[in-house]
Structure 1
Amino acid sequence: MNSSNNASMKQTTLGPSGIECSAIGLGTWAMGGWMWGGGDNAAAVLAIQASLDAGVNLIDTAPAYGLGRSESIVGTALKGRRHEAVVATKCGLVWHTQQGTHFFEEDGHPVHRYLGRESIVHECEESLKRLQTDYIDLYITHWQDSTTPVEETMDALLELKKQGKIRAIGVSNVSPETLAEYLRHGPVDAAQERYSLIDREIEQALVPLCSEHDVAVLGYSSLALGLLAGPIDPGRKFTGDDQRASNPRFSAQNRAKLKAFFDELEPLRKQLECSFGQLMIAWTLARGSVSVALCGARVSKQAVENAAAGSVRLRDDALQLIDAIAAKHLNALA
């Protein structure tokens, strides 16, 4: 498979904003190192540049990914190439204030969910500095804040848009009710939610609501933290603060179920001449629930492999086969 063939990359539009981007996006959570057992900045910069070269122009980051580290890496990688990228970053997970509700600790800092007006303005300025840019293409509320009215949050975002600091507004980790509340106060261009072959809850209520209001759906964790990238060696250990070390989905029992799933999928993979990871990303796009499949990568090889999934086309019979094999082996994982 020709992984450098940009022409085969499917394109999509981010809702009413009209911003065009690749249907595969690069997720940079792991590049921040936090919850992924550390990171390598130089390798991450090369991975972002390799993504652009391979036709992936949507780069998704957030301040919380390594307390600014991931955004700074994106800023470094895009020097001289900012015009080639559609940059998505986020607000609402803060460590500069104790307002809102405590969410978690990161590197000794208490991180709060907070989407108050002044905080969003402050966060936006900090992100612009780290990203070394004067505008953000898509600005997303990372997690929702029960202490701030949605109207106040949306007003702040609309003001930033008016100032040209952001081009489009997104929300993440929302209930259909919260999304409906945002929509009452202005246009929402994108909703970013977890979505993969084993995480399909949003198909029920959120995706129909997004379709009705022309909200693009960005699916994160398309490979379920790497679970769907291919068989995992039974002896592989996840170390340090790597979240997979304590995630029950990565248990020995589940690895055996996954092996059976991939074994049965092997003839289709061979026929399509792609990797298992590419097959799963192609499934995510072909299902029609999401406009963009966000895929994490920390090194160029992963980034280029993920990008090549954009040229894997699945017919209906292949989709049905994947669903049937998944139902047989993976239901208990979800």
Structure 2
Amino acid sequence: MRTLEIGRSGVICSTLGLGCMGMSEFYGETDDEESLRTLARALELGVTHYDTSNVYGRGANERLVGKFLRGQRDKVTVASKFGVVRDPDGPLGSVYDRELDNSPKYMRQCCEESLARLGTDTIDLYYVHRADPTIAIEETVGALARLRDEGKIRAIGLSEVDAATLRRAANETQIDALQSEYSLWTRDVEAEVLPTCRELGITFVAYSPLGRGFLTGQITKADDLADDDFRLTSPRFQGENFDRNFALVDHVRELAAARNCTAGQIAIAWLLHQGDDILPIPGTKRIRYLEENVGAIGVTLTKDDLDQIDAILPPGGAAGDRYDKSFKGNPEATR
């Protein structure tokens, strides 16, 4: 397992992280004990970066990660987020019960609450989960810089912002990470966002590197998902889009079989081959999938492999939008 520095923050972590969201919400039934075993196994395998948020399970995910951190806080880096406000009475699993608030007052409240749930004195990487269009990004990151000066956070990150917004933020203070969806079927960041990150020395954190599980090839029909799985609201998992996307993934599975690995490992390995400044954070709550994901580190892709993959899933190759257009904070609406 290689390591990298997150931006210029001095925060060092493994080059492959673990997304913890699905351990507490959105992807079917949850099991905290199973998730804790998965978190522990990840550390055994050299994964030292854990990604959570105050809204995952309405705080339950941070409490879960905090339980894992006890006695080994110095071995890992923890990333969390603020900026999304959820209806406290809304159903778990819904991605639509949300508003945005990037105000300094709300930011400080969220940070203090996250520190308490995580059981730590500092958050290694703190993101603006979604940018609030009613508040200037300069005001938001300026307030984050004050939290950093106080030692409550170590590095500042943004999530799902465009290149222009990222530049404005970086002109105000040091930004160390940009987290956005990036995978074989979501490559729009390659046009402007990723080059801007590299110009500014900002680490790119790739969430959903497995296309929300679709790129593993294990989801063969929408009926494979639980009725309350939020992926069913995504146009990519619906109707003809599903069928077209599955046909593309089938080609990736054929490529993987020829190399004695899985389609999911190909997808993660492809991301790792895009540059040493990219930190994929595949999420899982099960050890067997975790071990498969970590195994992608040992998959070497040749130039011919990369060219073949690019031909199968070029930028814009996936059918359908990532989110339903009614989703608040939809990043596709700002690009």
**TM-score (ref. length: structure 2):** 0.87
286-295 vs 232-241, which moves further: 232-241
> Partner residue of 1:167?
154
- Matched residues, number: 319
Partner residue of 1:308?
295
Residue in 2 aligned with 1:68? 59
Q: Does the Cα contact within 8 Å between 1:93 and 1:143 map onto a contact in 2? A: yes
What corresponds to 1:28 in structure 2?
A: 20
Whole-Å Cα distance in 2 between the matches of residues 117 and 259 of structure 1?
Answer: 43
Describe the superposition over 1:147-181 as per-residue Cα deviations: whole angstroms up to 9, x where unpaired.
Answer: 22223222221111111111101000111121111
Is the Cα contact below 8 Å between 1:46 and 1:77 reproduced in 2? no
Q: Give the CA RMSD over aligned residues.
A: 2.6
Is residue 36 of structure 2 the alignment partner of residue 82 of structure 1? Answer: no
Measured after TM superposition, the shift of residue 112 of structure 1 is 2.5
Distance 2:155 2:230 in 1: 31
Going from structure 1 to structure 2, the CA distance change for 1:313 and 1:37 (only over 3 Å counts) comes to: same
1:160-309 equivalences in 2 (<5 Å): 160-234=147-221, 236-251=223-238, 253-266=240-253, 268-288=255-275, 291-309=278-296
User: Does the 8 Å CA contact 2:186/2:318 hold for their aligned counterparts?
Assistant: no
Relative distance call for 1:206 and 1:259 in structure 2 (3 A) is closer
Residues 278-302 of structure 1: per-residue CA shift (max 9 Å, x gap) = 1101111212396111101011211
Mind listing any 5+ residue stretches in structure 1 that lack a counterpart? 1-8, 98-103
Rounded to whole Å, the distance in 2 between the matches of 1:157 and 1:329 is: 34
**Contact residue 170 and residue 188 of structure 1 kept, 8 A:** yes
Task: Choose 124-133 or 243-252, whichever is displaced more.
Answer: 243-252
Is the 2:34–2:285 contact (alpha carbons within 8 Å) kept by the matching residues of 1? yes
What does residue range 102-181 of structure 1 map to in structure 2 within 5 Å?
Answer: 107=92, 111-181=98-168
Instruction: Determine which structure has greater relative contact order: mean sequence separation of CA pairs < 8 Å that are 6+ residues apart, divided by chain length.
Output: 1
Question: In the TM superposition, what is the alpha-carbon distance from 1:105 to its structure 2 partner?
Answer: 5.0
The answer to whether structure 1 residue 47 and structure 2 residue 34 are counterparts is: no
- Measured after TM superposition, the shift of residue 110 of structure 1 is 5.3
Structure 1 CA distance for aligned equivalents of residues 17 and 203 of structure 2: 13
Q: What's 2:4 paired with?
A: 12
Rate the CA distance shift 1:94–1:253 in 2: closer, same or farther, 3 A: closer
Q: Deviations over 1:192-226 (max 9, x none)?
A: 01111111111111111111110111011101111
- The amino acid of 2:251's aligned partner reads E
- The code of the aligned residue for 1:187 comes to Q
- AA of the residue aligned to 2:21: W
Give the match for residue 101 of structure 1: none
**Cα deviation per residue 1:217-236 (whole Å; 9 max; x = unaligned)?**
10111011111012423373
Separation in 1 of the partners of 2:86 and 2:312? 44
Amino acid at match of 1:166: I
Larger mean CA deviation between 161-170 and 266-275 belongs to 266-275
Which residue of structure 1 aligns with residue 324 of structure 2? none
Distance 2:77 2:227 in 1: 32
Structure 2: give runs of 5+ residues left out of the alignment: 322-335
Give me the whole-angstrom Cα distance separating, in 2, the residues matched to 1:96 and 1:134: 28
